[in-house]
Chain A
């Protein structure tokens, strides 16, 4: 009889020990390749000036310092528009855009997933197809439409289009389809609950992982938005844009720019760490059934 391999007290099928080793090595190499630049960014931000320009460059830091972060904040306070304004803009755009996207997408996703009405399938079909091209494709006409609405150079030009980003809606709809049981909704409807009531008090609490995922994807995108082609005024520009201006000064600000990158990347990474299991749960139903 074939001897069965076990791993963590479970029988392992179809896995040779050699293959396991080979794959682990390959994964480790790839992992190091992925990790080194991230690590190097953090190390650069902690290096004092003389170590930044040390030859040969070092992959570690001898006298770690937070000076670069201090410099970054000094540079920020020197800017023409008060730095708090950039932070305010980014927060306003991220929160406003994400909130609207969450509300509109989840209401729409509920109707598409759980109500069978003429036209619903066609709506979803076109949303699915819209995942097949990027927003760049429509950017010129979007400019014309925004001009026509009179929204150019206002917050609305970036916030409102974010409301109808389709990835969140798509994930929400797929998740509702597989995780909200129609029987429960039917019984609520029979009890006389309105469609909106069923959505709000029954469906929404059942799809918490999906809203968290939608919030995170939308927030990540908006948080990292740099300069937008629809906004000219300096007072309306974002944090990422302002940091870009600081780091654009080049080699003299190598330390401060590494510190800036660290500041910008820490937020999305922490958010992902906290919500990883919810995101993975949502992505479980992300599949496309043609």
Chain B
């Protein structure tokens, strides 16, 4: 017998955990090469920035001089000395608490209603509901419709009907900025999660409904609660994440419609505050503290909601 065959390959049992892992690593070398390009860029542009912004948030840094360590001062200033930040935080939370859940519920409700239609009608209706979210700046039309002069469509109609005698300055009047921006945000919010719900509803096994009907499901609401929602949990989870993340980054619509900053800072959000300190004042340490708080808010809200959804139907 040659020496070669005597050098026996070790089996799993004879190896320690580390040896076994190392064996798997070597055997799947190719997998690492396949994952590497994406993961390197992903870490560089997504993960590293989050952690570095945590570090920088403890410093005073203007990009020219080296960062000075000042520990919690940025956070203390934010909460105790920066009224504008508190306004921004409050508005962001209001938007998130209203727009996030509302867009989520509307997306699901519409998808659920559409699911009853015939495939061809459903395809057209899906387009009608989804189009605003992919059409870029189209939401600017709301500025035309709610324009502050008599040529704005809404003012025109109200004037004609005699309900008002002077045009309302919709996007400058502090009373209307928030509600209008929320309405526009909802209008553009039937996006990725909406498509995910549509697809999820189509994927539910039809025999479940028959079985449910035999087992005593009486109407569509019971069917929704006992069969549809539990079978769509994965999509509900994904959709929630999409809606929540979107609702916290809210700000672009306000700047475009009401200006930046809007009248009396009504509708002024964290993303406005961030761009002020990051883009105009170059107080990078301070801006990092804002981004890190935004990060915590988004992650916190997402983890909380996904936890709640995973409890659904249990």
Listed in ascending order, the chain A residues whose CB lies under 8 Å from chain B are 8, 13-16, 19-20, 23-24, 26-27, 30-31, 33-35, 37-38, 40-41, 44, 52-57, 59, 104-105, 107-108, 110-112, 115-120, 123, 126-127, 129-142, 144-145, 160-161, 163-164, 166-167, 169, 194-196, 199, 217, 220, 223-224, 229, 240, 243-244, 247, 254, 257-258, 261, 264-265, 268-269, 272-273, 276-277, 279-284, 286-290
Contacts and interface: CB of A to CB of B under 8 A. Distances in A.
A137 B202 contact: no
A137 B270 CA distance: 11
Interface residues of B, number: 109
Interface of B: 21, 24-25, 28, 30-32, 34-35, 37-39, 41-42, 44-50, 52-53, 56, 63, 106, 110, 113-114, 116, 118, 123, 125-132, 134-142, 144-145, 150-153, 156-157, 159-160, 187, 190, 192, 195-196, 198-200, 202-203, 209-210, 212-213, 217-220, 222-223, 232-235, 237-238, 241-242, 244-246, 248-249, 271, 274, 278-279, 284, 287-288, 291-292, 294-295, 298-299, 302-303, 306, 310
B245 A34 contact: no
A111 B187 contact: no
B34 A108 contact: yes
B20 to A, nearest CB: 9
Contact of A112 (B35, B136, B219, B246): B35
A170 B119 CA distance: 27
A273 B130 CA distance: 11
Contacts of A244: 137
Contacts of B287: 140
A258 B172 CA distance: 22
Contacts, number: 310
A56 B159 contact: yes
Contact of B110 (A27, A161, A277): A27
A23 B116 contact: yes
A268 B156 CA distance: 32
Given A33-B187, A145-B48, A264 B41 contact: no
Contact of B42 (A59, A164, A258, A290): A164
Given A31-B128, A138-B50, A118 B25 contact: yes
Given A104-B37, A134-B245, A269-B131, A286 B196 contact: yes
Nearest to A247: B140
Contacts of B200: 283-284, 286-287
Given A41-B141, A111-B35, A140-B53, A27 B113 contact: yes
Nearest to A19: B220
A56 B38 contact: no
B47 A196 contact: no
Contacts of B218: 14
